[in-house]
Chain A
Amino acid sequence: MGATEDRTPRAARSGGWLWLALLALVAALLLSVACGKFPLDVGQIVASLFARLTGSASPLPETAEAVIWNVRLPRVVAGVIVGAALGVAGAAFQGMFRNPLVSPDILGVSAGCGLGASLAILVGASVGTVAAVAFAGGLVAVSLVTWVAAGAREHEPVLVMVLAGVAVSALLGAGISMVKLLADPTVQLPAITFWLLGGLNAVTWADLRYAAPIALVALLPMWLWRWRINLLTLPDDEAAALGTHVAQLRLLVVTAATLMTAAAVAMSGIVGWVGLVVPHVARLVVGPEFGRLLPMSLLCGAVFVVLADTLARTVAPIELPLSVLTSMVGVPVFLWLLGRRRQPG
């Protein structure tokens, strides 16, 4: 009988989908490195990679090497990190808040990063400092929300967190407007605006040296606790009666999701809709079980951002802001999902 087998049909089917998503990611990576003002073909990319891995001399001209290794690859890797982080954080938050309309921004991390970055740009800080202050701003915002929510013991904790997150985000948004008003309109204001729109055009290997380890470290507890995180989708009383320390587990998820989101946003600016739409699509194919949803959201998020960024730098003579593209794709997909009948199985 099917149900008594170790792997349910759904788990087996999900395995297939995960491999497919991994293939799609590899294809997206190759496509993204190949496309641009200086077109390359896949053979050249593979040859260059092979040469680096084996330590032999690359058969490619120096310009092509520079385009691959200094221009495109850091950007593509950044796309993977941003998409993966937002996808995973979104999936975890939607489960934890028992609400499929929640995005990783819900506790104010993006608004905090935004205010941090705007302030840093206002005082004329270097690119690296802007990212660092943005990261810190995101963490401070979420800590503030968590602290306020912990004080309000009389209410449902999840609801208080959402409300506190919305309120703190609004306050930080007002702060960002204030900074924009004070900013020098010729240099600083455009810099702030572009930062808030999000993009990977300025990413270098140096940025990735910080963002990648933070995102990976934050991913680790999510992966280790992946089965138990499912219990957070139950009402608190039920999860607690099943033997779970709900508050501790929730804090773990908030910390991990905030770290990975802040690391991503500090590097890319605010990239909208990824964290909301990607988990929906992932859930549609592998179901809500977090052990399967996490890798699927990670892969889908990475594919989505890498492809969107490729479009952002190739479709128009000027580079489009990444967030504009992710919204233009993400919102219709989201509306289509809303209108769609829920599928059994």
Chain B
Amino acid sequence: MSSLLRAEGLAFGYPGRRVGTDLDLDIAQGEVLCLLGPNGCGKSTLFKTLLGLIPALKGRALLAGRALGDYTRREIAHLVAYVPQAQTGTFAYTVEDIVVMGRAARVGLLAAPSRSDRRMASEALRRLGIQHLASRPYTEVSGGERQLALIARALAQEASLLVMDEPTASLDFGNQVRVLNEISSLRQQGISAFLSTHQPDHALRVGDRFALMKSGRLLACGRAPEVMTPQRLAQLYDVSPAEFAKAPHP
């Protein structure tokens, strides 16, 4: 399996404020890597670094074998899409308008999306089962529907890897299932995902491999039997293994 995104000895954070250090990661084509860790452990900062939004402080990040810093913003967007946690938005763009913005890296600098770009946006909406929202204002649909729209935007972007910041956090049960199924079905089409979640059972449902992060360092990274053990998860979240065993999880 070829490596799509790889971090070697990565230190990340902001000038004067190091958030994480000594991080090695590898995401292969068509693989789903789930990142678990307590609030504030540096997950979002790691995502920003791997998306090329902030420079690595030390070590290197490679995208398709090439240093992330050697890419233009547009080239990164051809390979990696970012699915942030949905915010309300200030202006009443339609859901379709928002999804079409996923085509930004594919349309010319001075161009507007073409008919085929709009068709791709509609197709992405249809795949997530929210085509009926196309002309609704993004500001007025529910939080879950907004999250689905942002995933649709990432699909419209046609990237090989989706970086998803807690994609199921604001969703009801039905939408959680829909999003998780969508991640699995994308994986079958060779699209990778790197996602963070606070739900170990969600991770287990879609993940190929799992990374546990605490205070900016990886505790463990690998397949479920070695990583997703009650002992490790209890250590990750600072709870006793007994308490963890009580919690409902598969």
Contacts and interface: CB of A to CB of B under 8 A. Distances in A.
13 contacts: A4-B119, A4-B122, A95-B91, A100-B91, A226-B112, A231-B101, A231-B104, A233-B91, A233-B93, A237-B53, A237-B84, A287-B92, A291-B112
Interface stretch (B21-29, B69-77, B197-205): B69-77
Contacts of B104: 228, 231, 242-244
Interface of B: 48, 51, 53, 73-74, 76-78, 80-82, 84, 87, 89-94, 96-97, 101-102, 104-105, 107, 109-113, 115, 118-119, 122, 125, 131, 134-137, 139-140, 157
Contact of A240 (B73, B81, B91, B112): B73
Contacts of B135: 2-3, 8-10, 345
Interface in A65-110: 95, 98-100
Interface string A270-311: 000000000000010001110100000000000000000000
A242 B101 contact: yes
A181 to B, nearest CB: 41
A227 interface: yes
Nearest to B90: A98
A100 B78 CA distance: 32
A6 B93 CA distance: 17
Nearest to B157: A242
Nearest first, the 8 A-B pairs at minimum CB distance are A243-B105, A243-B77, A241-B82, A288-B91, A3-B134, A227-B112, A243-B74, A242-B104
A3 B131 contact: yes
A331 to B, nearest CB: 22
A336 B167 CA distance: 38
A63 to B, nearest CB: 49
A230 B93 contact: yes
Given A10-B94, A227-B112, A243-B78, 7 more contacts: A3-B122, A6-B115, A225-B110, A230-B97, A234-B101, A283-B91, A288-B91
A287 B102 contact: no
Nearest to A245: B73
B113 A241 contact: no
A55 interface: no
A340 interface: no
Given A4-B122, A6-B118, A344 B93 contact: no
Interface of A: 1-4, 6, 8-10, 95, 98-100, 224-228, 230-231, 233-235, 237-238, 240-245, 283, 287-289, 291, 342, 344-345
A342 B76 contact: no
Nearest to B91: A288
A241 B101 contact: no
Given A9-B135, A243-B76, A288 B92 contact: yes
A142 B104 CA distance: 29
A241 B91 CA distance: 20
A126 to B, nearest CB: 41
A130 B41 CA distance: 58
B122 A242 contact: no
Contacts of B92: 283, 287-288, 342
B91 to A, nearest CB: 4
A289 B115 contact: no
Given A242-B104, A242-B105, A3 B111 contact: no
Given A235-B84, A240-B53, A289 B93 contact: yes
A99 B136 CA distance: 21
B82 A237 contact: yes
A233 B73 CA distance: 18
Nearest to A240: B53
Given A3-B125, A240-B73, A241-B77, A344 B97 contact: no
A99 B81 CA distance: 26
A329 B109 CA distance: 39
A287 B93 contact: yes
Given A8-B135, A231-B101, A237-B48, A287 B94 contact: yes
Given A99-B90, A230-B101, A344 B112 contact: no
A224 B77 contact: no
A287 B89 CA distance: 14
B171 to A, nearest CB: 19
A81 B82 CA distance: 41
Nearest to A248: B73
A287 B136 CA distance: 11
B73 A243 contact: yes
A287 B137 CA distance: 9
Contacts of A8: 94, 96, 134-135
